[in-house]
Amino acid sequence: MELNFNKPLLALDTSTQNASCALQIDGNKIISRFFRPDNGAKHTEVLLYLIDEIFKEAAIDVAALGAIIVGIGPGGFTGLRVAAAAASALAIAGDLPLGTVSSLALLAAEKITAAENQIIFPCLDARMNEIYCGKYQVLDGKLRQITADKLLNQSQFQELVNTENALILGSATVYLSQDFLSDKSEFIFPELLPNAEKAFSVLDLVSWQTCRESVLLNYLRNEVADKPKR
């Protein structure tokens, strides 16, 4: 499988209630759309429209692409399938390589310019009093994944983040507060969510496959986190 990053790259993510898509052209110019539903609109109703918008703005179509990247979660079951289905269909139409990347990596990439060696914990609300959390680090100016993304309860999350001098960012504010953090950690909110355009800054973390292979989504909900003891 040959990768050609000199051609435009398309990235999609629908791991949360928001939908995002982005197009990178000439290795640096990015055209993107980030949709925040305010009227109950669903991913299926907006994602293809957003893709069509950026194609029109760039005056290209799928035939001009070099590859497609999709966020594979963790996140909402239905939402993840929407982006995966769209990415697969477009990749097959253009006979393109298909890349998969953690949606938490897209979130961590918001702070890729953090200090060297900085630990970053991206987190998302997993509902049911649980949190999707990843552990990443900036090394040599690039984002690296330190451990696999996890589904944690509140106690597990607190124990994890209080062992590090870290940046903590994401959208799980309903469960988190500054009170439990060590003095070493920096707590970054408001509601940051994964954005497809960040895929282009973490290409080292993208796993590549052919367009004919099934996209394996990282739901994490299949793994049950231990419940806090009462």
Residue 128 lies in a domain: yes
Residue 223 lies in a domain: no
* Residue-wise pLDDT tens digits, 86-103: 999 999 999 999 999 999
pLDDT at 188: 61
Q: Which of 76, 99, 62 is nearest to 194 (CA)?
A: 76
Q: How many domains does the chain have?
A: 2
CA atoms of 114 and 166, how far apart (whole Å): 10
Residue 220 lies in a domain: no
Residues 20, 93: one domain?
yes
Q: Are 69 and 10 in contact (CB under 8 A)?
A: yes
pTM for the whole structure: 0.91
What is the residue range of 87's domain? 9-103+194-209
Residues 132, 178: one domain?
yes
pLDDT at 184: 55
What's phi and psi for 55, nearest 5 deg?
A: -60, -45
Residues 134, 121: one domain?
yes
CA atoms of 51 and 218, how far apart (whole Å): 23
Residues 99, 110: one domain?
no
Q: What is the mean pLDDT of each run of 10 residues along the chain (230 residues)?
A: 89 94 94 81 85 97 97 93 96 97 96 87 88 94 95 87 80 59 58 92 97 95 49
CA atoms of 47 and 41, how far apart (whole Å): 10
Residue 178 lies in a domain: yes
